[in-house]
A and B are shown apart, each in its own frame.
Chain A
């Protein structure tokens, strides 16, 4: 049996001596590791201290003088003194601090991330579905696009997009043509497109919109209940949409007509008492009966261009104010020739008006009243009301070397957005494809056997199951998109990374900005990760 000669006597339950007990050694090693970690941290901090001492006292200078570690982040309150290409909020390099510059960087990154996520989802879904198309050509073109995007680096794509396509192939500002007949101008200065500008009455109209939504929802619910009870379809979608639009249109007119904010400052002598009189003034000066005839009159020589320019109404306005857009939109719609002088501030505008530089000074009533009182001949000045609508369409026009009006997408923002969307869209397409393929074919066959239409099959059977597989990797792609937005520095878009880079160069401190940047990116990533985990838990299949 056993061939161990004289098996040794053993007491039961011998205790392992602590110095070679694996468990205790494990814990001891962990403690040693923690101690070493703390020691190396302190060593690093000592090194930081020594190195920064070598750099001089300026690194941690306090606002009120002196220098200490507590004042590490004080330098961020200094004026930034460097320009930022574009920003969502106002920014003045001479008065805004580094903190505000960082905030602008964060907002720019967030802007890219938000638009990028929305557009990527759309593009990725379309491409993923195209990849599953039964049309061999469509499916293969999607495959080539996906392979091309996934196998080349994002930075290369961005450089190609910005330096080879945008900067070289786009026309200069003077040579640009409207896109497809619409007043959209894509030039080397960026893309200028018509935008909607809210006026003062927008708030009222928005209230009507909310009211319309509420009553549409009420109608939806009520008609839905009636459907259930009577079993007859009630076309409730149509009713809800129609009633919503009716309320919105009513609100448009009510808000527009009841608003009294827009006004113009004119002299009594000009005999302008309302908007229609402006056209009448021009007609009187030109000797024609209708401003609409000016084009025809110019064509057949009755009027000269100089006469038209002489008679054109001159307007003073504050740059990029809502009033300016209001008036120019109306004058443009009424075919009244006008020239416009823009000033940056109300006092500059009123000065121009006082010198006789323009016939009309347009602004909101409060500003006009305040400025009129500063004039000497204020008794001769009238404030005439101008009609307005809740939103006005602001169309870009070329004046001089710039486009005025409308919204503008800078070249840099377009480049980073397009590059990111094209790149991440390819990955999202593969995820969508995998998700839809993960739903077993039996589900489709059963849906068809039950007589569900294609739309119902997709909406009720396939997509809910596919979404469970799609959402986790999709959210990690969103994370990748947010982190890849830091490459905007390559196309000179002022995102967070580029702003921090500039701050490091401008202020000479390296550690604090990098810490801030790492913390911000970490927070964004953790936020998106938490959302992913929460959503995952919510829709997870409960297993036996």
Chain B
């Protein structure tokens, strides 16, 4: 017969060595070192302080948190003693209650988070105002006055229609007379310039203190002044369109929608067609062509073309015409307007026609204008000439495997001439295309001299980017342009920096440098020494030495390789200056560096500044990827007879770019955020528009809510790009081998 062990105490779920475990716990967690004990004491005092504070400030939530905390701590402690955790207590033990310090820090953090969340909830929802009428335009009409309350019908005023008509849906709001905070004993309501305030805070958290003030002109309509205790989301709602597209012509927003639809239509098959590289070859080719053609359409939608590309009255000679058209970038619109062919209404050009005002010029007149004495004509003529010559010669003397050197040279020359004239002919094609595109027009209504008039406007009529591109539209345009343009440039720069081509031979470099130095020493230095006014100019007079030093450095560092030298210097220079300097320089220096009276639109300058800036950073990232490829890959490709283009396109770049996808996408996210800098150089991206909104009379000083909205917008954009990066990494198998 076995005797059962004596009945345990009621703590029989605790193990036998409970005392030992407790001692060990105390020694390890509390008394291990006096520093630890001191720290725990201070922390406990602080925690108790905070708890007492929060109990006074927000008793309900604090008690809930405390109860949950104590229960979970007890649960974890008991399970720890039993050596039997369930999932919850195990997670808690490992993540929040690791040691005594963490136990208290956890509860402190939770209390802090609850306080922050409650505060933010009150600010952003409970006390927030969603009225999208600016405070100055919020009007009220006194509907009735009784002994108990004053009732108003409130709404907004469309000042464009009339300064007094309340057009929004009038909501009725009544204030108890008891809440009146001004003394109206001597004032008759409705009397001119009456003003009174109600403390509506308890019953009207949206409006807080509401004061009404009428004016002598409109004694029955009161301007409402509101005090916002919470967020003014109405400001964001009212200005949403402005934030998105700023000054874009509201009549032509269909262009933006067209671009969005175009991109959507192209994106959907892209997700499927590019997935597997071993099938769908024709589909991929089609999609690639469509994507390459899409910038043209997007350009037409967002920028448009001038209806008549070049001047109508041709210049005297073809050659001067060629020269003028190639290197004169003045706006042809001014000349057309001077010639009386275009009229400008509200800043937009419209064609005057043969048949009268505001109708399109006939197709043939414009075609003639396009081809009057400029490089279009030369291009087309040359293309036809050399093209037919090439075809004839190739028919008569087809290329053979062994030919004389003269024949090879002749074919090369012919090919060169063909390419040159083809390039010129491209201008012609562009001109004709833009002229044709300008022929498609539609009729819409414009206000001309105060009268609504029907005008015919080309569908892709030109828009002035400096004025019309703004807000989030500008941000997206800059980002996409910079990403798309900087990628090939950066690639070329990275490849150029690592290029091993044979450089200029040393004898040539030193010879030229020596010649320049000797010329300088004999011709220039004596004059400069004589004219030197201070020590610095004296030193600068010996500039030929600098030429020799530069030649030596060039040979030594780059082995005469001009490509590598140029790429390296460009990258290091652009990476060394801040972006704001580059933008500033682009804005101010561009007009000085180009011939007088040339105009480049501000928007183009900034776009190219971003693209060139980003290209340098991209080049460094790609260079890192190229360095990560083992040399064996290059050697294997060379041994298999790949040409340079094939080697890079098929072997090297796929591996290199895959490795640096995170860095490249990080760079693009940085670019997306850096578009905000154009606010400092005077363009209005979404941040600039937010600042402009806060400067308006209606929304004076309202910055917080637009900034919060912008933060959310940028956050979403960055999150989208980051998730795309992760998708790319997974698809290309980054890190799997």
Contact mask for chain B residues 168-209; partner A; CB cutoff 8 A; 1 contact, 0 none:
000000000000000000000000000000000000000000
Beta-carbon contact of B703 and A30 below 8 Å: no
Does any Cβ of A come within 8 Å of B515's Cβ?
no
A479–chain B nearest beta-carbon distance, Å? 8
Q: List B contacts of A154 (CB < 8 A).
A: 673
Contact mask for chain B residues 494-508; partner A; CB cutoff 8 A; 1 contact, 0 none:
000000011111001
- With A47-B595, A164-B703 known as contacts, the answer to whether A152 contacts B576 (CB < 8 A) is no
Does any Cβ of B come within 8 Å of A145's Cβ?
no
Beta-carbon contact of B596 and A54 below 8 Å: yes
B102–chain A nearest beta-carbon distance, Å? 5
Beta-carbon contact of A47 and B581 below 8 Å: no
Does any Cβ of B come within 8 Å of A484's Cβ?
yes
A521–chain B nearest beta-carbon distance, Å? 5
B309–chain A nearest beta-carbon distance, Å? 25
Contact mask for chain A residues 7-22; partner B; CB cutoff 8 A; 1 contact, 0 none:
0100000000101100
Question: Which residues of chain B (60-108) have a CB below 8 Å from chain A?
Answer: 94-96, 98, 102, 105-106
The 8 Å CB contact of B110, one of A137, A517, A529, is A137
Does any Cβ of A come within 8 Å of B557's Cβ?
no
Beta-carbon contact of B592 and A152 below 8 Å: no
Contact mask for chain A residues 37-64; partner B; CB cutoff 8 A; 1 contact, 0 none:
1000000100110111010000000001
Beta-carbon contact of B704 and A164 below 8 Å: yes
Does any Cβ of A come within 8 Å of B408's Cβ?
yes
User: Which stretch in B20-28, B257-265, B318-326, B582-590 binds the other chain?
Assistant: B582-590
The 8 Å CB contact of A510, one of B95, B580, B589, B694, is B589
B499–chain A nearest beta-carbon distance, Å? 10
User: Which stretch in B128-136, B379-387, B712-720, B728-736 binds the other chain?
Assistant: B712-720
Closest Cβ neighbor of A137 among chain B residues: B109
The 8 Å CB contact of B503, one of A27, A501, A511, is A27
The 8 Å CB contact of B576, one of A70, A135, A484, A525, is A525
Beta-carbon contact of A30 and B503 below 8 Å: yes
Q: List A contacts of B428 (CB < 8 A).
A: none
Q: List B contacts of A156 (CB < 8 A).
A: 676, 687, 707, 710-711, 714
In the bound complex, what is the Cα–Cα distance between A137 and B110 (angstroms)? 8
In the bound complex, what is the Cα–Cα distance between A484 and B577 (angstroms)? 10
Q: List A contacts of B676 (CB < 8 A).
A: 153, 155-156
B495–chain A nearest beta-carbon distance, Å? 15
Q: List B contacts of A525 (CB < 8 A).
A: 575-577
Q: List A contacts of B412 (CB < 8 A).
A: 20
In the bound complex, what is the Cα–Cα distance between A44 and B703 (angstroms)? 43
Beta-carbon contact of A8 and B102 below 8 Å: no
Beta-carbon contact of A510 and B711 below 8 Å: no
Beta-carbon contact of A135 and B711 below 8 Å: no
A417–chain B nearest beta-carbon distance, Å? 17
Interface centre among B504, B676, B687 (most CB of A within 10 A): B676
Beta-carbon contact of B581 and A153 below 8 Å: no
Q: List A contacts of B584 (CB < 8 A).
A: 497, 501, 514
In the bound complex, what is the Cα–Cα distance between A155 and B691 (angstroms)? 12
Beta-carbon contact of A518 and B680 below 8 Å: no
Beta-carbon contact of B96 and A526 below 8 Å: no
Bin chain B's interface residue count. 35 or more
In the bound complex, what is the Cα–Cα distance between A17 and B588 (angstroms)? 49
User: Which stretch in A244-252, A254-262, A321-329, A485-493 binds the other chain?
Assistant: A485-493
Does any Cβ of B come within 8 Å of A442's Cβ?
no
Beta-carbon contact of A50 and B596 below 8 Å: yes
Does any Cβ of A come within 8 Å of B464's Cβ?
no
Does any Cβ of A come within 8 Å of B674's Cβ?
yes
In the bound complex, what is the Cα–Cα distance between A26 and B563 (angstroms)? 10
Does any Cβ of B come within 8 Å of A163's Cβ?
yes
Beta-carbon contact of A510 and B592 below 8 Å: yes
In the bound complex, what is the Cα–Cα distance between A347 and B603 (angstroms)? 58
Beta-carbon contact of B687 and A153 below 8 Å: yes
Q: List B contacts of A483 (CB < 8 A).
A: 577-579
Question: Which residues of chain B (654-698) have a CB below 8 Å from chain A?
Answer: 669, 673-674, 676-677, 679-680, 687, 691, 694
B605–chain A nearest beta-carbon distance, Å? 14
In the bound complex, what is the Cα–Cα distance between A456 and B502 (angstroms)? 54
Does any Cβ of A come within 8 Å of B405's Cβ?
yes
Contact mask for chain B residues 301-314; partner A; CB cutoff 8 A; 1 contact, 0 none:
00000000000000
Q: List A contacts of B711 (CB < 8 A).
A: 148, 152, 156, 160
Q: List A contacts of B105 (CB < 8 A).
A: 135, 137-138
Closest Cβ neighbor of A139 among chain B residues: B95
In the bound complex, what is the Cα–Cα distance between A120 and B80 (angstroms)? 40
Bin chain A's interface residue count. 35 or more
The 8 Å CB contact of A486, one of B98, B409, B504, B578, is B578
Does any Cβ of B come within 8 Å of A134's Cβ?
yes
Q: List A contacts of B674 (CB < 8 A).
A: 153
Beta-carbon contact of A486 and B581 below 8 Å: yes
Closest Cβ neighbor of B561 among chain A residues: A30
Q: List B contacts of A514 (CB < 8 A).
A: 581, 584-585, 588-589
Question: Which residues of chain A (459-490) have a CB below 8 Å from chain B?
Answer: 483-484, 486-487, 489-490
Q: List A contacts of B508 (CB < 8 A).
A: 31
Closest Cβ neighbor of B110 among chain A residues: A137
B492–chain A nearest beta-carbon distance, Å? 13
The 8 Å CB contact of B102, one of A26, A134, A164, A489, is A134
Does any Cβ of A come within 8 Å of B573's Cβ?
yes
Q: List A contacts of B502 (CB < 8 A).
A: 23, 26-27
Closest Cβ neighbor of B98 among chain A residues: A134
Q: List B contacts of A27 (CB < 8 A).
A: 502-505
In the bound complex, what is the Cα–Cα distance between A150 and B679 (angstroms)? 20
Beta-carbon contact of B707 and A504 below 8 Å: no
In the bound complex, what is the Cα–Cα distance between A50 and B592 (angstroms)? 9
Does any Cβ of B come within 8 Å of A136's Cβ?
yes
- With A156-B714, A514-B588 known as contacts, the answer to whether A521 contacts B577 (CB < 8 A) is yes
Does any Cβ of B come within 8 Å of A534's Cβ?
no
Does any Cβ of B come within 8 Å of A196's Cβ?
no
Q: List B contacts of A510 (CB < 8 A).
A: 588-589, 592
Q: List B contacts of A52 (CB < 8 A).
A: 592
B562–chain A nearest beta-carbon distance, Å? 4
Q: List B contacts of A497 (CB < 8 A).
A: 578, 580-581, 584
B497–chain A nearest beta-carbon distance, Å? 15
Does any Cβ of A come within 8 Å of B531's Cβ?
yes
Does any Cβ of B come within 8 Å of A159's Cβ?
yes
In the bound complex, what is the Cα–Cα distance between A263 and B589 (angstroms)? 58
Closest Cβ neighbor of B593 among chain A residues: A44
Q: List B contacts of A23 (CB < 8 A).
A: 502
In the bound complex, what is the Cα–Cα distance between A155 and B687 (angstroms)? 9
A7–chain B nearest beta-carbon distance, Å? 11
Question: Which residues of chain B (573-627) have a CB below 8 Å from chain A?
Answer: 573, 575-581, 584-585, 588-589, 591-596
Beta-carbon contact of A135 and B106 below 8 Å: yes
In the bound complex, what is the Cα–Cα distance between A64 and B531 (angstroms)? 13
Beta-carbon contact of A137 and B106 below 8 Å: yes
Beta-carbon contact of B589 and A511 below 8 Å: yes
The 8 Å CB contact of A163, one of B401, B677, B703, B718, is B703
B543–chain A nearest beta-carbon distance, Å? 12
Beta-carbon contact of B109 and A141 below 8 Å: yes
Q: List 15 A-B residue pairs with CB atoms under 8 Å apart, sorted by A's residue number.
A: A19-B409, A27-B503, A52-B592, A134-B94, A141-B109, A141-B113, A148-B711, A151-B718, A152-B673, A155-B677, A156-B707, A164-B704, A497-B581, A511-B589, A522-B576
The 7 closest A-B pairs by CB, nearest first: A525-B576, A136-B95, A483-B578, A151-B718, A153-B673, A30-B562, A153-B676
Beyond A31-B562, A137-B110, A521-B578, 14 additional contacts (C-beta under 8 Å) are A33-B566, A48-B592, A50-B595, A70-B537, A135-B105, A138-B109, A150-B718, A151-B719, A159-B687, A163-B703, A501-B584, A517-B581, A522-B576, A525-B575
Residues of B within 8 A of A (CB): 94-96, 98, 102, 105-106, 109-110, 113, 401-402, 405, 408-409, 412, 501-505, 508, 531, 533, 537, 560-563, 566, 572-573, 575-581, 584-585, 588-589, 591-596, 669, 673-674, 676-677, 679-680, 687, 691, 694, 703-704, 707, 710-711, 714-715, 718-719
